[in-house]
Chains A and B, each alone.
Chain A
């Protein structure tokens, strides 16, 4: 295909230009992989699976492999704001580190609070240097929401007491591209759940250019690394969906690729956790699965080196990659129609039924009134 051919050329040119830059790591990727017992064959399999995941045809897998090898030329700054570090952890703490995890290590990580040795003034200095030295070139990843109320006073980081708001804006200025890793950075996450006293928001609301949102609490490691690989390969943003999430990862609903979908359409549902239907692997819709409202590739990519994902493990999807999911996807173990409305302590159907009852009483009263009101006579 023509567009693919053009994209391939673009990728080749980009990698050639990256190759000219000095490596920032002392070891090559090959050496790193050897240290971890990952064979060339594993690596090629990984490259093929990443290109398939990015919806690119197979020839692109060599490009993925080359891009991985020059990944240490691309400076990456990873800034943590109001967050729980779960996104970093999901990426780093895999029990069997696969190529994705290694690549993350291998990218030239200029600043990452969880991983770096520096602390205090030294850490602050590292961040400033990294931003200055790589100005306009670095890839910027955010983890966590940015509190904006009271001018950002609800979050200060580091010995200089800068607010998250200041840090985020400053870092965004010199970035070549910005990725919001996880639902908090993308949409505010739990910090932004109602009533959101700190005014927490997704990063895209405070910077005036496109941000790639990787929804998910946490997003799977392949979605994070896939996005990094795409940027390294092509130096630009992938096609994005309605909430600026990469289409290759968030293009389809969980529900549409779920292994329990056959049971959904057949009307076979788990009624409560642990019942026979649950043991038979029936659909989790009635115990609150939000797969029908959630765009993500969990059913196909799964988590922890493709081992499992929530619905396979027996709990419904909670919609964690969607904006405001803490509010809109409540209650996590009830279907959406039975969501308890704030302040009313009842679901919409109860409220509806009460209004209906009141209406019926009103009608009855009016009908009785009509009996006593006597007849209307024309003339």
Chain B
């Protein structure tokens, strides 16, 4: 058995705020999918008393996690564009480079590895961008629905823009339908996302999953500065 020694560098890739955002998003999305599907098809048996508002409480939970998601979605968009650290924005370079795509897809198919300019690979970046847009869409349609379930306070403030969006989308039923369809995007995303994160860590021996907890990733250290 031969024994090799390799040197690794430990790099901070995710700042604390980005990690907090990630886990808040993860939590709220899981909670929203569950409570959302419950709202679509309420299956619990009610306790034969209208003092216990089963549907009401679940809707309330959905709305609370909804507002968390709204806040995180806004914060995350701000961080992406205006954060001092450009590690996320650097990935755009790979997205517009066909070569980066090619090496990336090859790496997924067990051929070689794909060094990144920033925090993400091109496919990964596009997927995250897509899921952020989907989250934004869910927030908008969710707030439109919210303006219809609560008419005072924030619901009242949102009424006029909500009416406009409802009109653009062709009615409240359409808003609700799309809010339901896009739910599936999140479910499917979570499955792929978790697998890819674990797989990347195992195959390329780096800190993929842990890094979103600790913030640090480690990379093999090379003397000649060829790799990143």
Contacts and interface: CB of A to CB of B under 8 A. Distances in A.
Q: Indicate, yes or no, whether A interacts with B.
A: yes
Contact of A328 (B58, B110, B171, B191): B171
Contact of A335 (B40, B110, B164, B167): B40
B173 interface: yes
B18 to A, nearest CB: 26
B103 interface: no
A336 B110 contact: no
B54 A285 contact: no
Given A266-B49, A328-B173, A369-B110, A359 B167 contact: no
Interface stretch (A148-156, A191-199, A348-356): A348-356
B170 A293 contact: no
B188 A338 contact: no
Interface residues of B, number: 48
Interface of B: 6, 40-42, 44, 46, 48-56, 58, 108-110, 113, 148, 163-164, 166-167, 170-174, 176-177, 180-181, 183-184, 187-188, 191-192, 195, 199, 202-205, 220, 222
Given A242-B167, A285-B42, A376-B110, 14 more contacts: A265-B55, A286-B41, A286-B42, A290-B173, A293-B173, A337-B177, A337-B180, A352-B183, A359-B191, A369-B109, A369-B110, A370-B202, A370-B203, A376-B203
B177 A328 contact: yes
Most chain A beta carbons < 10 A, residue from B48, B58, B171, B184: B171
Going nearest first, the 9 A-B pairs with the smallest beta carbon separation are A267-B54, A373-B110, A352-B184, A337-B40, A267-B46, A293-B173, A242-B167, A293-B172, A265-B56
Given A328-B170, A352-B187, A363-B192, A242 B163 contact: yes
B188 A359 contact: yes
A324 B6 contact: no
A370 B167 contact: no
A87 to B, nearest CB: 20
A33 B42 CA distance: 51
